[in-house]
Structures are given as C-alpha cells and as structure tokens.
Amino acid sequence: MTPEINYILSLQAVRDRAHHVLFLAESNRLNHFDYNPDRLTDVVQYVTNVIKDGYGPDKYAQIPPHGRWQHFLVGDVDRIATLLHRYKHRGYNLKEEARSLVDLFFVSVLLDAGAGDAWKFREPDTEATFVRSEGIAVASLHMFLNGEFATVSSTRKDVVLGAALRDLKASQLELGFQIEESNPFIGTAARVELLNALGKSLLDLPEIFGDDGRPGNLVDYLLAKAGQTGPIDFEDLWQLLQKVLLPIWPSSRTQLDGHPVGDAWPLHALAQNPDPSAPPQHQKYANIQPFHKLTQWLAYSLMVPFERLLRRPFENAHLATGLPEYRNGGVFVDLGVLTLKPRSLEQGRKNSGGDLPAFEATGDEIVEWRALTVALLDKVHGALQETELAAAQLTLPQVLEAGSWKAGRKLAAENRPDTKSSPILIMGDGTLF
C-alpha cells in the first residue's frame, strides 16, 4: 500500500483528523454540530463522579483498561475465573490459557456491534437476563463453550478455528443468541458474514495464526517479536490486527485506490476545510476521517490476557484513541457539549419519525459526531489530570472503562429510562458499532 493509505490506517491519523474536526468546531465550521465548550466542565465533573463512585477513594489502581474481560463478570458471576480454573484442571500452562482467552475475546468483540434496544439473552446456568454488550458477551461465551466456533474434528470444543468461522451458519448464531421474532437482534446476517470472512482471513495467514487459523496463536507471534522479557509493542499488535481484519469488512466500506481501509469515512467538513498544517504525504485523502473503532476495542481487549496472565506489558499503547461509539459520544450530547444544528436535528427526527434524531451509521452526521467524540475524550482525559483524580494518573483506556463509557450508559438510563438508548440513534447493520 502507498504511504498515504498506510497513514489512513494508522492510529495517528485517527487522532490527527479528529482534533482538526474539533478545531473546526471551535470556529463554527462544521455542518451538523455546534460545540459548546463551556459545558465541557460539566462532563469532566460527571465523569469524575462516576469514577469516584465506582473506585474511590483508594481503588483507582484496580481500574482495568476498557476491554471485553469485564463484560463476562456481569451479574456478579466471574465467568473468566471459572474458565481459567477449568483450564488449570486440564493442565494448561499460562500461555495456553492466554491463547484460549484471545480466541474467545476475538470472536466476542467482533460480534458486539450493537444489539438493538429489544434483544435479550437468558443465561442457561443462572437464568439471569442480560442485554446489549454484556448480553452479547455471555451469549458468545456459551457458544464458545458449546463448540460452535470449533470444527467437528477438533480435540476440544472451547477453541476458535478458522474453518469453523468460515462455515458458520446464521442458524447457529440465531440459536446461540436466542434470536427469534419476539427477540429481534440487529444485523444477524451481516455478523455471520463478518465471521465467515474472518475465518477465511485467519486461514490465509498461517505464518501468524497457524494452519488451523486459530486467533489465539497471535500470542506466540507477538511474544516471539518481543523476545523473552521485553514489552510487547502495541504497534505490532495494531499492524497484525489491521492485516487480518481489513479483508473482512463489508465491501460497502470506503476504498481508496482499490484498497479497503475499514472504519474510515469521507467527511464533508474535512473536504471543505482540509488541515493546512498536515505534511504533504497526508494531504491526498484529506477528506477521510478514520476511526477503526472495533479494531481498537479488540486491541484493548487482547492486551489484558497478556498483562494479567503472562505479566507482559505493552509499550506505545498511548497511541490508541478513545472509542467513537454511542456511549462515549452520548455523554457530550446529553450534557450539552454538542448540539445538533437545527437543520440536521429536523432531518434526524424525520428519519426516526420520533423525538430522537436518527442517521445512517456512515452518514455525515454520525461521522462528524464520532470525530468530535475522539478529540473530546482526549480533552476529558487531560482535564482529569487537573482534578482530584490527578494523583491516580489514569490512562485513557481506564477513563473509557470507569468513566466516559459508564457515564454514557448512566445518562442514557436517566434521560431515556424506557429504552436506555443513545441520544442520537444510529441506523446500521451491526458490523460497525
């Protein structure tokens, strides 16, 4: 690929472009949102209070990075501890335990792009009912344990193999996720197609994932690159994930000179006001705003087994950004930092037929909102260093986990108790958010 395309695929581009969009917002040069910076202190205070409620006054060091692990603890049931106990009983070493969690997290994260407001999963073991991200996590865990992601010839059921993903049927996901007419789930077919494509991509990269296309084999690949004792370079993980995931995204996503670039979209505000300070090699696709949200969340999630089980830290993880999804973005809308311009609000309400505006997931309105979310999360993270939480020295992934994401969910429940939905509805196929 050309240097210009590699830039769009980079984490640097996500942050560079998002901050330029915020710069445009400061001078009222956006098409859909007004920026009210005087309300940002309200967000910082709200997020601070959420973090303090969850971890204060002396547990800030225990905040995990935003990732999939903790979704499996929903309902006060530590399903990961149970899984690890089972692996120890089988005699697995720590490296195999890490491979197995990577298998589970890889598939579970890619299935989690928004379930809709109506879907629920009733867990067979506990009889508890879960929704949204936690529901998808628990449902995917049970499919994993039941061997839905393994082949018939596999020596174990709880493993993920490329051939099984390549051949996965919609009926398997419908059964595993309890999807039926009375329990609708957004984007079933699209998610199955995504996993089918993932299976093929894993099998196409035997040098990383082995001949059987097992996601967990990336553990060995990254450890070999890092050496016996050195930290793992987050950039190595990032390049690996982009390599395996770029071919799997729907063909309707943005392509540049025939190359797919994943979660990256044209934005009118960037086309109208390209960044004059950007170096020449970054100007060719000056209208494209990249995000790579699911890939970033997967990267955050996969770091945790390395750190907790193998005691291997990461370097350069600060390059990753805040996640531009509806919980983080909803904080800034619900607390008035961002307001839709009247024309966009009117169009959004026409789209939804109700009071809440709705837009296509790849529409200019949502792309603008997501870009602002990335930049504003950086500003909140920085502002927290000036509060009573300064001594905790929280990383951005910790702020996402304990603060902004939970704040977005809390505000949704307070403001829209019937649906707990985002303040702006997103119309998509279940492969982006």
Is 375 a member of any domain? yes
| pLDDT tens profile 276-309 | 988 988 999 999 999 999 999 999 999 999 999 9
Is 315 a member of any domain? yes
Go through the chain and tell me how many residues it has: 433
Does residue 218 contact residue 210 with C-beta atoms inside 8 Å? no
Is 188 a member of any domain? yes
Is 432 a member of any domain? no
Asked if residue 65 has a cis previous peptide bond (ω within 30° of 0), the answer is no
Indicate whether 431 pLDDT > 80. no
| pLDDT tens profile 199-247 | 999 999 999 999 999 999 999 999 999 988 889 999 999 999 999 999 9
| Angstrom distances, CA of residue 407 to CA of 51, 262, 376, 402 | 9, 28, 14, 8
Indicate whether 396 pLDDT > 70. yes
The model's pTM is 0.94
Is 433 a member of any domain? no
- Residue 386: CB partners within 8 Å, gap ≥ 6? none
Number of domains in the chain: 1
Domain that holds residue 337: 3-427
